[in-house]
Amino acid sequence: MRVDLVTKEYPPEIYGGAGVHVAELVKALRRDIEVVVHAFGAPRSEAGTRSYPVPGELASANPALQTLGVDVAIAADVAGADIVHSHTWYANFAGRTAQLLHGIPHVVTAHSLSRCARGRRSSSAGATGCPPGSNAMPVSPRTPSSP
């Protein structure tokens, strides 16, 4: 059994809870099964870990296109895995694309989709609609006219 984990955050490039979660998950899973980590960013020396910088052709592109470029490279490299498990929205496109390309199950751990999540909160409610210091995105009730 080989599980390929796809993540933007992985040591030493960790800036939040998702990276800590993935690092601990990999350590636990590797006791029993083969795990290959596909991580955004600079090269890493850890065995079973592959790193993916932004493709050179996208160096001056906006960050969303850079993310998709990394995701496409990762999706191609997942060949041979039994399961692909993506962490955060950054890596989800790679996981879903790998699922479609290679015919394998895809597991998603979204972590946080909130624009008010730790590390992304605003200093004023006016900028994002989130209260200062908030860790949760406000929810608006749906009305019959809402989509």
How many CB atoms lie under 10 A from the CB of residue 49?
17
- Provide φ and ψ at 96, rounded to 5°: -65, -40
Q: How far apart are CA 39 and CA 6, in angstroms?
A: 6
Query: Considering only 2-6, 12-16, 72-76, which range has the smallest mean pLDDT?
Result: 12-16
The pLDDT, as a whole number, for residue 58 is: 98
Q: How far apart are CA 66 and CA 47, in angstroms?
A: 26
In the chain the beta strands, taken as DSSP E runs, fall at 2-7, 34-40, 49-52, 83-87, 106-109
Q: Which tens digit of pLDDT belongs to each residue from 25-42?
A: 999 999 999 999 999 999
Order of strands across the sheet with 2-7?
49-52, 34-40, 2-7, 83-87, 106-109
**pLDDT band for position 115 (50/70/90)?**
low
Predicted TM-score (pTM) of the model is 0.77
Query: Considering only 98-102, 123-127, 128-132, 141-145, which range has the smallest mean pLDDT?
Result: 123-127
